[in-house]
C-alpha cells in the first residue's frame, strides 16, 4: 500500500476525511515555504500539494495567481519544486505536485516522474491533462510508482467520470464548482452529488477542492468526501501576514481550525 493510500485508510479508520493543503513552491518565499508547510502538517494537514509555478495557470484564481507570480519572480524552477517535495516529505505527510502539463512536457515526462520519485513524492495532480492525451504520462508514472490524479467537474457526464476515474491511481479530484480556484462564501450544492456520481464508477478516494476555505466548509465536505482540499485560504493568510513568523503562525492556526472542522463532521460515506 502506498503512503497516500495509507493516509486515506488511516483517516477512514478514524471515521473522517483527510485534510489536504496546497501551496506553491517558493511561496511566501524560497526560505519560508518549507517551514510554513511543515507547520501546516504539524497542525493537522494529512497530505500536501506543492504547486509548480507556471506563467499561464488557467485554473487558478487571482489569489493563487499572485502567489505563483511572486514565486516565479523569486526564480523558482522545477529543481526547486523537487527540493521542496523532498524536504516536506520528511514530515511523513504524502507529498504531491500540482502542475499544468506544459512544464512537465518541457522538462521531460520520464525525467519529471523519475526525479519526483527520487524526492519521495507520491503523486501529481494535472488539472489540464486529459486521459486521452496522457499515454506517455501514464507509462512514466507507472514506471516510477507515482500516483496520477485527474479532475472531474459537476458538468462531467457519466461516461466522462468513468473515463477519468479509470485513469487515476491516487484519488479523484472533484472540483466543487465550475471556474477557477478561490475562497468562496458558500459551496456548490453540486459537490456532494458529484462525489456520489464518482463513487458509482470507482473505489478510489474522492477529494473535493476549489472554494473550500473555512472550517465550516471543511466540515461540510468531510461529511461526504474522502478528502478536503484547501489552497487559496492558506495563500491568502500568508499574503496578509506582516512577517514570515506571522505567516507561519497564521498557516498553522488555519490548519488547526480546518483539521478541527474535518474531525467534527459526521462520519462520511
Domain extents for the chain? 3-264
Query: Is 195 or 57 the better-scoring residue by pLDDT?
Result: 195
- d(C-alpha 32, C-alpha 29), whole Å: 5
Strand order in the sheet with 123-125: 147-149, 123-125, 95-98, 47-51, 18-24, 227-230, 206-209, 172-175, 151-152
Catalytic amino acids? 49, 60
Mean pLDDT of 163-168: 97
CA of residue 204 relative to chain centroid, distance: 16
C-alpha cell at 248: 507561519
Q: Is the pLDDT assigned to residue 117 strictly greater than 90?
A: yes
Give the model confidence (pLDDT) of 250-268 as tens digits. 999 999 999 999 999 886 4
What integer best gives the mean pLDDT of the chain?
Answer: 93
Cis? peptide before 32, omega within 30° of 0? no
pLDDT of residue 187: 60
- pTM for the predicted model, two decimal places: 0.93
% of the chain with per-residue pLDDT over 90: 86
How many whole angstroms from its chain centre is CA 14? 21
Segment 100-110 mean pLDDT: 97
Q: Calculate mean pLDDT across residues 233-246.
A: 96
For 40-49, 176-185, 240-249, 250-259, which range has the lowest pLDDT when averaged over its residues?
176-185
Q: Is the pLDDT of residue 157 over 50?
A: yes
For 144-155, the pLDDT digits (tens) are 999 999 999 999
- Report whether pLDDT(178) > 60: no
* CB neighbours of residue 216 within 10 Å: 14
Q: What is the mean pLDDT of residues 89-110?
A: 97
- The predicted pLDDT at position 163 comes to 97
Region 146-165: mean pLDDT is 96
Q: What is the pLDDT of residue 253?
A: 98
Asked if pLDDT for residue 184 goes beyond 50, the answer is no
CB 16 within 8 A of CB 44: no
Q: Which CATH architecture has domain 3-264?
A: Alpha-Beta Barrel (3.20)
Which SS3 state, helix, strand or coil, does residue 227 take?
strand
Average pLDDT over residues 100-107: 97
pLDDT of residue 188: 57
Q: Which of 181, 115, 172, 176 is nearest to 147 (CA)?
A: 172
Query: Max CA-CA distance within the chain?
Result: 49
pLDDT of 1 higher than 80: no
d(CA 212, CA 77): 28
Is the pLDDT at 212 greater than 90? The verdict is no
Amino acid at each position: 500500500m502506498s503512503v497516500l493510500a495509507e493516509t486515506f485508510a488511516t483517516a477512514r479508520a478514524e471515521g473522517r476525511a483527510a485534510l489536504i493543503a496546497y501551496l506553491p513552491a517558493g511561496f511566501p518565499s524560497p526560505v519560508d515555504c518549507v517551514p510554513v508547510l511543515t507547520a501546516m502538517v504539524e497542525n493537522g494537514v494529512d497530505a500536501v500539494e506543492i504547486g509548480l509555478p507556471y506563467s499561464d495557470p488557467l485554473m487558478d484564481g487571482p489569489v493563487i495567481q499572485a502567489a505563483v507570480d511572486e514565486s516565479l519572480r523569486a526564480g523558482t524552477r522545477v529543481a526547486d519544486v523537487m527540493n521542496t517535495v523532498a524536504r516536506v516529505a520528511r514530515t511523513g505527510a504524502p507529498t504531491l505536485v500540482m502542475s499544468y502539463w506544459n512544464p512537465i512536457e518541457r522538462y521531460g515526462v520520464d525525467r519529471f516522474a523519475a526525479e519526483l520519485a527520487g524526492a519521495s513524492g507520491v503523486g501529481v495532480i494535472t488539472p489540464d491533462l486529459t486521459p486521452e492525451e496522457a499515454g506517455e504520462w501514464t507509462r512514466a508514472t507507472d514506471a516510477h510508482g507515482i500516483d496520477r490524479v485527474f479532475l472531474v467537474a459537476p458538468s462531467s457526464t457519466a461516461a466522462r467520470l468513468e473515463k477519468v476515474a479509470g485513469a487515476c491511481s491516487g484519488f479523484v479530484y472533484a472540483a466543487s464548482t465550475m471556474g477557477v480556484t478561490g475562497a468562496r462564501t458558500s459551496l456548490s450544492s453540486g459537490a456532494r452529488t458529484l462525489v456520489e456520481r464518482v463513487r458509482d464508477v470507482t473505489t478510489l478516494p474522492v477529494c473535493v477542492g476549489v472554494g473550500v476555505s473555512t472550517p465550516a466548509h471543511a466540515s461540510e465536505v468531510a461529511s461526504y468526501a474522502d478528502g478536503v482540499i484547501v489552497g487559496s485560504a492558506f495563500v491568502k493568510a500568508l499574503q496578509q501576514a506582516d512577517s514570515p513568523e506571522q505567516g507561519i503562525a497564521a498557516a498553522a492556526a488555519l490548519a488547526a481550525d480546518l483539521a478541527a472542522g474535518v474531525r467534527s463532521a459526521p462520519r462520511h460515506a
